[in-house]
């Protein structure tokens, strides 16, 4: 398939976002990737640090951020502002014509405020099916831009929402798989899905959906990796060609089929 009909969607997260040197190295590799591509990023610990500096307490429940009105202002400034524009400026240095976006720009990603159940997450957005404006994104790609999405969406009525970057990446991949042969790549500080969490070299090169339950029940895959893989296999069921999980520092190996763990 030609590069005009293929699309790579890369999500960068984990400790890479918080380390300027590692982020620069990753962005140079991302810029060098041929063909159409999209980058999705969160904001990591930077938002927590800046909130603390201005006297706003960061509240987390089971690792998930509670986004009250004050924290929404902070994450919008950090994710859609500081972090997004630093990434865009760095990519321009590497001759990648990046376009920094939130979900509100071009009305590309609408979400709904998460309903209050056991926990009130505040201004956290959940993306619904068919809420991705694929035609606007296609226009950006056809114009030669590389969209860089922060983890901020909107509800269509003027309200910004903090939305999980993994979910944004998966939702974009699923929606755009109707227009392109789409691959989703999750980049973080680990080399892939590990058979032994204490051995960075124990990467499982490929996992099929039929193997996932067995790896969970045997305890090989647990805790934070479980929802990531659930999202990955859901994306594949809904039209995404492949999902890769691997080390941001090794992104250049993706073109050589030597990158992390491939889910299919």
Poorest-pLDDT segment among 79-83, 105-109, 129-133, 141-145: 129-133
pLDDT of residue 1: 44
pLDDT of residue 178: 96
pLDDT digits (tens, 9 = 90+) for 186-212: 998 889 999 888 888 899 999 998 898
Q: Are strands 98-101 and 146-149 parallel, antiparallel or unpaired?
A: parallel
Tokens of 249: 């520092």
> Would the pLDDT of 102 be above 70?
yes
pTM given for the model: 0.94
> Would the pLDDT of 237 be above 80?
yes
Task: Measure the CA–CA gap between 141 and 89, rounded to whole angstroms.
Answer: 18
Helix (H) or strand (E) run with residue 213 in it: helix 209-217
Kindly report the number of other CB atoms within 10 A of residue 86's CB atom. 16
Beta bridge partners of 54: none
Distances (CA, A) of 55 to 3, 34, 38, 68: 48, 44, 35, 14
Task: Measure the CA–CA gap between 29 and 87, rounded to whole angstroms.
Answer: 13
pLDDT of residue 84: 97
pLDDT of residue 90: 98
pLDDT of residue 261: 94
162 is in an annotated binding site: yes
pLDDT of residue 174: 97
The end-to-end CA distance of the chain, in Å, is: 18
198 is in an annotated binding site: no
> Would the pLDDT of 13 be above 90?
no
Compute the average pLDDT of residues 144-173.
Answer: 96
> Would the pLDDT of 93 be above 80?
yes
Instruction: Judge whether 162 and 146 are in contact, CB under 8 Å.
Output: no
**Is residue 218 very low, low, confident or very high in pLDDT (cuts 50, 70, 90)?**
confident
Instruction: Judge whether 9 and 243 are in contact, CB under 8 Å.
Output: no
Compute the average pLDDT of residues 49-63.
Answer: 87
Task: Measure the CA–CA gap between 166 and 132, rounded to whole angstroms.
Answer: 15
**Is residue 2 very low, low, confident or very high in pLDDT (cuts 50, 70, 90)?**
very low
103 is in an annotated binding site: no
Residue whose structure tokens are 């990519």: 91
CA 191 from centroid of its chain's CA atoms: 17
pLDDT of residue 228: 81
Looking at the chain, the whole-number percentage of residues with pLDDT higher than 70 is 98
Distances (CA, A) of 8 to 2, 11, 118, 159, 173: 13, 10, 37, 29, 8
């Amino acid at each position: 398939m030609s590069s005009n009909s293929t699309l790579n969607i890369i999500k960068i997260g984990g400790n890479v976002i918080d380390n300027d040197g590692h982020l620069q190295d990753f962005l140079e590799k991302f810029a060098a990737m041929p063909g159409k591509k999209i980058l999705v990023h969160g904001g990591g610990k930077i938002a927590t640090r800046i909130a603390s500096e201005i006297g706003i307490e960061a509240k987390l429940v089971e690792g998930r951020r509670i986004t009250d009105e004050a924290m929404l202002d902070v994450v919008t400034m950090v994710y859609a502002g500081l972090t997004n524009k630093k990434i865009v400026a760095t990519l321009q240095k590497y001759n990648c014509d990046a376009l920094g976006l939130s979900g509100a720009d071009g009305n590309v990603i609408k979400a709904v405020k998460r309903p209050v159940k056991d926990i009130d997450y505040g201004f956290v957005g959940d993306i619904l099916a068919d809420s991705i404006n694929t035609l606007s994104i296609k226009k950006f790609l056809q114009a030669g831009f590389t969209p860089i999405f922060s983890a901020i969406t909107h509800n269509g009525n003027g309200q910004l929402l903090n939305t999980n970057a993994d979910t944004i990446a998966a939702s974009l991949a699923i929606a755009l798989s109707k227009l392109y042969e789409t691959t989703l790549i999750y980049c973080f500080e680990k080399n892939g899905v590990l058979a032994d969490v204490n051995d960075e070299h124990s990467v499982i090169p490929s996992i099929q959906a039929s193997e996932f339950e067995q790896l969970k029940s045997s305890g090989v895959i647990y805790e934070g990796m479980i929802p990531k893989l659930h999202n990955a296999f859901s994306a594949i069921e809904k039209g995404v060609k492949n999902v890769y999980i691997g080390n941001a520092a090794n992104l250049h190996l993706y073109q050589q089929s030597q990158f992390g763990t491939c889910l299919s």
